[in-house]
A and B are shown apart, each in its own frame.
Chain A
Amino acid sequence: MSTSAVNPKKRTGPVIFSEYNSGDGIKKAFSLKREDILFELKESKLKGRGGAGFPTSSKWMLTAAASSDKKFLICNADEGEPGTFKDRVLLQEYPELVFDGMVIGGYTIGAKYGIVYLRGEYEYIYESLQFYLQSMRKRNFLGNNILGSNFSFDIKIHLGAGAYVCGEETALIESLEGERGEPRNRPPYPVNTGYMGYPTVVNNVETLAAVPHIVCKSGKWFKKFGTDKSTGSKLFSVSGDCNKPGVYELPWGITIRELLNIVEAENTKAVQVGGASGICIPKSGFDRKLGYEDAATGGSVIVFNEKRNMLQVLKNFMEFFVEESCGQCTPCRIGNVKLLEGVEKIEKGNYTFSYINTLKELGNTMKVASKCGLGQSSPNSFISILENFKDEIFKSNGANNDRVG
């Protein structure tokens, strides 16, 4: 088996998929001081690729500054958001980027242990990843006294058990600790009280994969790509009604229309940006830019053409949330059920507009009062689909009475 995992495929892209040799980032990092790495990271303005978009340099700095005898770095490879598969591509085809990024991260924050939390469904790449880690150990990029330095770091891989919410970083930590995978209260944030109570950095696979490039090629180079608020490039997992679905590396700031052209989508009616927890954008919004400042996404882009029934699309998403809510907090556990019931009422034509509006208000409450990102974002599709496709939805599912709005 080759060292770069299953079916190596050469991809092209400005940043992530640009030229990189395994180990280069580590070597470069070791020639730098920790502050210098943090500086480059800050300069790059890299933001988390897992969805929340938190500045990576701040996260690392907080953990680096925390005083503790143990620290941890966790690679979030739970990739559970419907419509994302770019982390799998990275792990399968570019493990050197992800793992070098972890070593650099460990070095920078002062962690000795790295953990990859691998989505349970990706069990089939587990062996090849272990194989790759072994090869890194042989080359002394991992293990004790890496490259003769006094820095030691090792990585273990933990398989998840298939809950979407375990991608949320604190639920992920609970799951790693052997507890029920449920989000914690925050604060405290993992950078202060994380895995086993120690300061912990949790980063998305893609975030970590960007790090070796930044270390080798500088933060300045990185921020040449993308926009001011969304620097660098992004891996988009494109699926749905298009001729060329797949993973694309494109600079942030590209419009939805441009993306649709690249993936050869025709007769597109709507694009769901950010997966089930994202927003659904109609034709009129296709000139919106993908980026943290406009249409943010952790990578998932799902294309729907004219033939799709948007109410069914929405129903599908809501069923997902009803099932995937961890069941901990009231707004999400019961709120999603109410939103789904609302969709079913519309489906049967058995609804009033005032009740639908009540549900939208409930959605707004869920956004602010839920305990974690799942419940905070699950009403997004409910609100955006009913708003953006109201003609289609309410025309074909006639209201019984008090038609307003």
Chain B
Amino acid sequence: MTESDNIRVPVSQQPHSVIKSKKENGIGGLVSIQINEKAVMVPLGTTILEACRKNQIHIPTLCHHEDLCLAGLCRICVVDVEGMKTLQAACSFPITSPLKIHTSTPMVRKARRHIIDLILSEHCGECYSCIRNGNCELQALAKEYGVDGYRFGHVEQPRYSVDRSSVSVIRDLNKCILCRRCIRTCIDLQEVGVLEAIDRGDKTHIGTFLDKPLADVICINCGQCTNRCPTAALSTNDPSDEIWEAIDNPNKHVVIQTAPSPRAAIGEEFGVAPGKSFTGELNSALKRIGFDKVFDTNFTADLTIIEEGTELLNRLKKVLVNCDTSVKLPQFTSCSPGWIKFIEHFYPEYLDYLSTAKSPQQMFGAVIKTFYAKETGINPDDIVTVALMPCSAKKFECNRPEMNSSGYKDVDFGLTTREMATMIKEAGIYLPEMPKTGFDDPFGEASGAGLIFGATGGVMEAALRTVYELVTGREVPFKNLNIEPCRGFDGIKQASVKLENCVNEYSFLEGIDLKFLVAHGTANAKKVMQMLKRGELNDVHFVEIMACPGGCLGGGGQPIPTSAEIRRKRAQAIYEEEASLPIRKSHENPYVKYIYQKFLTEGPCGKLSHKLLHTHYTKRGRFIS
């Protein structure tokens, strides 16, 4: 299964069902067409847009997004196809016969300009007070087509009130151009189904169930829609004003933890091509901004591995040795808050399968306001914890009422990569030219296992490195510790490792094939849950699920735009950085060892761990009253 095979495309948006020749390049597999008088050969079924792009012809698009199924509704991409009475939408026109295409006739140019003018006439927003200023597809298009006035008038008053009900995602329909990318993201890509077009004609708008505020519907806060919205109609709930306030307050000790994915992508916000990590530079920038301490979330990622891995071994023991039928297997990971909300809404009867381990973000918050506060003698009341995350669901997670096991709000603010980049720019810093510095003690440098949490399959790979070694006393049998079956962007990955010559304590696992499964994107999560329901996961032990396509590196708070290619580059940056790290197994992280010696003295899954590092879930169901 590949990433695109997994997308549920409604019939209406399916491409033409073409009978493709077996040999792609053979006769019948290729069509010869003409674009602007130039003859080219393209594979049968290629869209006009793809054909043009391959031939360096730029066609503007708005509703099209390469992660999503076809739409063909903004009509900005129209081209002239000889012999057809009307212009055709290049993005959704499959080439199945020899065509003569013209992409820049007077009629085409006029139509495009009219369409831009029409959209602008209803677009209520001012670029200089807009968070997408400089990275807005509508704005870019207006510039490209030399728009210098409003030909068809312009709305004066906002038609909709801004929906700020959600702590994660803000909706401002006044800036919505009805490209419906968000709908296709939410329904088809993520299969959550929060957003739909409501009403028709000039009353058409993007709505939720009964037009309720976003906080009162089953939105999982993944933010994938904010990543794909071409304008500022969808954005994340930005806490940076409050963070500045805390930084500027001398009585507050403001610490920030940074997750693995933002550092692999934040360069994009500064114009650097995707695929380069800025870990050290980011550390310096954060210090210059005024954060008192900069910690690596990978530390608690390592801690998560120890806790979650131990939990898995405990579950295995209970099932295999004690024959305890109340214990559920496979164990599902719990570090993606979008996934957690998804399962709480859609599969509330399966919450017992989730690991009780908190996400690294929340573990860190709890540790900072207890262990760190104690070590440094700072009153936890004066500590403000910020989490730099690739994710908008992390905002919701840190606001969950149960996330205060330190006695305080464990994590005060979740900040996305995009929001962080703006803070850095506001501080007058150009990230790429920062010197490289390390993370602060007492959590220091983390292991590479924590780092790869950022890519789909990373948690599984990290967990296997530790679990296998705990059980057998040997390193995982993969070259350079790279567990390849966990890597890559296939929607659902499945593999196993055999446990042989186990150490005494784990002799009950002797000869067992430890089976694991990795899925990313909630559409794939849904498939996995259906497999579970059908009993197809009975012999699987461990399942990793990330709510976002590609895992955290494709998170809803990451730089815009996103595409399969960009996500691939970000993954590459993460894996390259990890390969160069001295420590690549969570259980070898000296700081993790230290915290178990000094603080969590009962060891993994002990009483204090349970209080601080584990959590419980809420049966939400699909209907919220």
Flag if A362 contacts B114 (CB, 8 Å): yes
A193 close to B (CB within 8 Å)? yes
Flag if A197 contacts B11 (CB, 8 Å): yes
For B178, list chain A residues within 8 Å (CB): 327, 330, 333
Q: How far is the CA of A182 from the CA of B203 in the complex (A)?
A: 15
For A324, list chain B residues within 8 Å (CB): 200-201
Main secondary structure of the interface of A (DSSP, over half): helix
Flag if B89 contacts A371 (CB, 8 Å): yes
How many interface residues does chain B have, given as a range?
35 or more
Closest to B85 in A: A368
- Which residues from 89 to 128 on chain B have a C-beta closer than 8 Å to any C-beta of chain A? 89, 92-94, 96, 107, 110-111, 114-115, 118-119, 121-122
Q: Mark A292-325, 1 if CB is under 8 A from B, else 0.
A: 0000000000000000000000000000001111
Given A330-B75, A371-B72, A179 and B10 touching (CB < 8 A)?
yes
Given A179-B10, A335-B118, A187 and B94 touching (CB < 8 A)?
yes
For B423, list chain A residues within 8 Å (CB): none
Flag if B118 contacts A331 (CB, 8 Å): yes
Closest to A369 in B: B111
Flag if B16 contacts A192 (CB, 8 Å): yes
- Which residues from 361 to 385 on chain A have a C-beta closer than 8 Å to any C-beta of chain B? 361-362, 365, 367-371, 376
Flag if B12 contacts A174 (CB, 8 Å): yes
B87 close to A (CB within 8 Å)? yes
For A188, list chain B residues within 8 Å (CB): 14-17, 94
Q: How far is the CA of A367 from the CA of B87 in the complex (A)?
A: 9
Q: How far is the CA of A70 from the CA of B317 in the complex (A)?
A: 53
For A369, list chain B residues within 8 Å (CB): 75, 78, 86-87, 111, 114-115
Q: Mark A170-181, 1 if CB is under 8 A from B, else 0.
A: 100010010110
For B21, list chain A residues within 8 Å (CB): none
For B12, list chain A residues within 8 Å (CB): 170, 174, 179, 182, 184-185
Flag if B204 contacts A333 (CB, 8 Å): yes
Given A327-B178, A331-B114, A358 and B201 touching (CB < 8 A)?
no
Partner of B201 from the list A185, A197, A322, A365 (CB cut-off 8 Å) is A322
Given A369-B75, A369-B86, A193 and B11 touching (CB < 8 A)?
yes
Flag if B15 contacts A362 (CB, 8 Å): no
Q: How far is the CA of A6 from the CA of B401 in the complex (A)?
A: 66
A329 close to B (CB within 8 Å)? yes
Partner of B73 from the list A170, A187, A371 (CB cut-off 8 Å) is A371
B151 close to A (CB within 8 Å)? yes
Given A187-B96, A328-B73, A197 and B110 touching (CB < 8 A)?
no
Q: How far is the CA of A192 from the CA of B178 in the complex (A)?
A: 29
Flag if B86 contacts A368 (CB, 8 Å): yes
Q: How far is the CA of A187 from the CA of B17 in the complex (A)?
A: 10
B426 close to A (CB within 8 Å)? no
A334 close to B (CB within 8 Å)? yes
A115 close to B (CB within 8 Å)? no
Q: How far is the CA of A335 from the CA of B367 in the complex (A)?
A: 58
Partner of B76 from the list A163, A330, A333, A336 (CB cut-off 8 Å) is A330
A337 close to B (CB within 8 Å)? yes
Least CB distance, B44 to chain A, in whole angstroms: 13
Q: How far is the CA of A334 from the CA of B87 in the complex (A)?
A: 18
Closest to B15 in A: A188
B565 close to A (CB within 8 Å)? no
Q: Mark A107-119, 1 if CB is under 8 A from B, else 0.
A: 0000000000000
B199 close to A (CB within 8 Å)? yes
B57 close to A (CB within 8 Å)? no
Closest to A335 in B: B118
B165 close to A (CB within 8 Å)? no
Q: Mark B57-91, 1 if CB is under 8 A from A, else 0.
A: 00000000000001011111010000001110100
Q: Mark B481-497, 1 if CB is under 8 A from A, else 0.
A: 00000000000000000
B156 close to A (CB within 8 Å)? no
Least CB distance, A373 to chain B, in whole angstroms: 9
Least CB distance, A306 to chain B, in whole angstroms: 33
Partner of B110 from the list A165, A179, A182, A361 (CB cut-off 8 Å) is A361
B13 close to A (CB within 8 Å)? yes
Flag if A197 contacts B17 (CB, 8 Å): yes
Q: Mark B380-419, 1 if CB is under 8 A from A, else 0.
A: 0000000000000000000000000000000000000000
A326 close to B (CB within 8 Å)? yes
Flag if B201 contacts A333 (CB, 8 Å): yes
Partner of B202 from the list A170, A187, A327, A365 (CB cut-off 8 Å) is A327
Partner of A185 from the list B72, B76, B78, B86 (CB cut-off 8 Å) is B72
B152 close to A (CB within 8 Å)? yes
A32 close to B (CB within 8 Å)? no
Flag if A331 contacts B75 (CB, 8 Å): yes
A338 close to B (CB within 8 Å)? yes
Least CB distance, A92 to chain B, in whole angstroms: 29
Q: How far is the CA of A192 from the CA of B15 in the complex (A)?
A: 11
Q: How far is the CA of A322 from the CA of B122 in the complex (A)?
A: 14
Flag if A330 contacts B121 (CB, 8 Å): no
Least CB distance, B244 to chain A, in whole angstroms: 39
Closest to B62 in A: A330
- Which residues from 162 to 221 on chain A have a C-beta closer than 8 Å to any C-beta of chain B? 163, 165, 170, 174, 177, 179-180, 182, 184-185, 187-188, 192-193, 196-197
Flag if A365 contacts B111 (CB, 8 Å): yes
Q: How far is the CA of A104 from the CA of B18 in the complex (A)?
A: 28
Q: Mark B8-29, 1 if CB is under 8 A from A, else 0.
A: 0011111111000000000000
Given A327-B200, A327-B204, A329-B73, A185 and B89 touching (CB < 8 A)?
yes
Partner of B115 from the list A179, A196, A331 (CB cut-off 8 Å) is A331
Least CB distance, A399 to chain B, in whole angstroms: 18
Q: How far is the CA of A185 from the CA of B89 in the complex (A)?
A: 9
Flag if B115 contacts A330 (CB, 8 Å): yes
Flag if B118 contacts A330 (CB, 8 Å): yes
B197 close to A (CB within 8 Å)? yes
For B87, list chain A residues within 8 Å (CB): 368-369
Least CB distance, A293 to chain B, in whole angstroms: 15
Least CB distance, B151 to chain A, in whole angstroms: 7
Closest to B203 in A: A327
For A163, list chain B residues within 8 Å (CB): 200
- Which residues from 326 to 356 on chain A have a C-beta closer than 8 Å to any C-beta of chain B? 326-331, 333-338, 341
Least CB distance, B88 to chain A, in whole angstroms: 9
Closest to A375 in B: B75
- Which residues from 141 to 199 on chain B have a C-beta closer than 8 Å to any C-beta of chain A? 151-153, 177-178, 196-197, 199
Flag if A365 contacts B73 (CB, 8 Å): no
Flag if B16 contacts A362 (CB, 8 Å): no
Least CB distance, B579 to chain A, in whole angstroms: 45
Closest to A174 in B: B12
Closest to A68 in B: B17
Partner of B75 from the list A323, A325, A361, A371 (CB cut-off 8 Å) is A371
Flag if A327 contacts B201 (CB, 8 Å): yes
Closest to A196 in B: B11
Closest to B12 in A: A184
Q: How far is the CA of A197 from the CA of B9 in the complex (A)?
A: 11
For B151, list chain A residues within 8 Å (CB): 358
For B203, list chain A residues within 8 Å (CB): 327
Closest to A170 in B: B12
Q: Mark A245-287, 1 if CB is under 8 A from B, else 0.
A: 0000000000000000000000000000000000000000000
Flag if A365 contacts B16 (CB, 8 Å): no
Flag if A338 contacts B74 (CB, 8 Å): no
Least CB distance, A134 to chain B, in whole angstroms: 31
Q: How far is the CA of A188 from the CA of B94 in the complex (A)?
A: 8
List 14 A-B residue pairs with CB atoms under 8 Å apart, sorted by A's residue number: A165-B200, A192-B16, A193-B11, A325-B200, A327-B197, A327-B199, A329-B74, A330-B75, A330-B178, A331-B114, A338-B118, A338-B152, A365-B114, A367-B86
Residues of A within 8 A of B (CB): 163, 165, 170, 174, 177, 179-180, 182, 184-185, 187-188, 192-193, 196-197, 322-331, 333-338, 341, 358, 361-362, 365, 367-371, 376
Nearest first, the 3 closest Cβ-Cβ pairs linking A and B are A327-B204, A188-B16, A334-B118
Using A331-B118, A338-B118, A369-B75 as known contacts, list a sample of 7 further A-B pairs with CB atoms less than 8 Å apart, ordered by residue number in A: A185-B92, A188-B15, A193-B16, A197-B14, A327-B200, A329-B73, A335-B118
